[in-house]
Amino acid sequence: MKILDINNPGFRKEFEEILQRGKMDIANVEEIVKNIIKEVKEEGNKALFRHISRFDKWEPKENKDLEIMPDEMKKAYENLDEELKKALHLAYERIKKYHEKQLPKSWLDFEKNGTILGQKVTPVDKAGVYVPGGKAFYPSSLLMNVIPAIVAGVEEIVVTTPVIENKPNELLLGALYICGCPKTYKVGGASAIAAMAYGTESIPKVDVITGPGNIFVATAKKLVYGDVNIDMIAGPSEIGIIADESAKPHYLAIDLLSQAEHDEMASSILITDSKEIADMTVIEIEKFLKELEREEIARKSIEERGAVIVTNDIDEAVELMNEIAPEHLEIMTKNPFELLPKIKHAGAIFLGEYTPEPIGDYIAGPNHTLPTGGTAKFYSPLNVEVFMKKSSIISFSKQAIEEMGKECATLAHTEGLTAHEKSVLERLK
């Protein structure tokens, strides 16, 4: 893992490479995904059957083969270990409680002249959730995407997930049962995104699609945006850590690896004002790597896309981290809350040495679907409002239009919109 010094003449060039970590070459992928979307739009389930046979190694025979039935979810839940059930229920309740605090409110404001202005908040009718299931299974992603939709009041929630060789993961089935058995279909990749965006004989068209996925899923979400809403275009996972001399190197090392083990393309970046901490962390990383089941993945990630940056002081560290705008940001300093006001861009902020990033992935409560690749500068975490929309409410009384109608007509006239102008003036006669 390379160590960069901010005082090195070539530092800025190396740092610019870190800032480009989220860029993906999707030119070739985009053409493939466009064809997949076209086939699903034109052929519906027939295209899905063909894609499942090719990518997921099983042969659906009829439409009902695509759906996972509630009794299958219930049976899987009942077979789960009691400790695992307890963990899933704890996660469910904490995620639900947190997202309930996010609910926006409808409101009306009454003015003295009889004007009523307000906002009406309503959930979308149908939401689609994509849950990855190729290399690994992520029931936590299911909870993090379905629960906000439930809290928002969405009437119909559709889940799609790839099922290799038609063998659904028992843990995922159990999590689906805890979530109230939303309609779930054994379809993955760009095909699933297209199916939810445009509908097929089995899968209903939805209004918003959320959930993480590989480059094909991300590209498909980008291409269907506008026909449906999406949460964000998420890339490989990443973590940034700000640390001073008080931080424990073995905590820093394993936390950096907690993201590196996700994907060879994941980024793990430590910024510290202590050269000693930097050196010791690199040593600890090597020790931990040998203990990981996914050592090969983590090693490639940490060596090719990981970095330790040494600054002159913590303020420089904060400044650089704000440029990076990481998906996950850990602050391990003597007084982490003192730095919080200085942090401008991060998907989720973890404060103190007893708040490792995995706490946020599973049981803390805030959503773990977060902006990556620097998009935390303008995107927010997945939240209840993604599954809701706002309508403006306007009601003018006779007195109100007499007070303000002339100015409204003037503005319309200035823009050359005669019908707009006359629409108001007719009411002033």
Task: Give every CB contact of residue 182 below 8 A, 6+ residues apart in sequence.
Answer: 129, 146, 157, 158, 159, 176
Q: Let me know if 328 is a catalytic residue.
A: yes
Asked whether 255 and 239 are in contact (CB, 8 A), the reply is: yes
Residue 159: closest CA among 132, 182, 125? 182
Catalytic entry in 51, 328, 345, 368: 328
Give the CA distances from residue 128 to residues 177, 239, 376, in Å, rounded to whole numbers and listed in that order.
Answer: 17, 27, 23
Asked whether 137 and 171 are in contact (CB, 8 A), the reply is: yes
Asked whether 211 and 131 are in contact (CB, 8 A), the reply is: yes
Catalytic entry in 170, 238, 327, 353: 327
Tokens found for residue 108: 């009306």
Residue 213: closest CA among 55, 411, 85? 55
Say which amino acid occupies 332. Answer: M
Give the CA distances from residue 211 to residues 35, 117, 141, 189, in Å, rounded to whole numbers and listed in that order.
Answer: 22, 35, 7, 11
User: 17: how many CB neighbours lie within 10 A of its CB?
Assistant: 10
How many residues in total does the chain contain?
429
As a dihedral over the C-alpha atoms of residue 221, residue 224, residue 225, residue 231, rounded to 10 degrees, the angle is -30
Tokens found for residue 123: 């959930």
Q: Let me know if 327 is a catalytic residue.
A: yes
Active site residues: 327-328
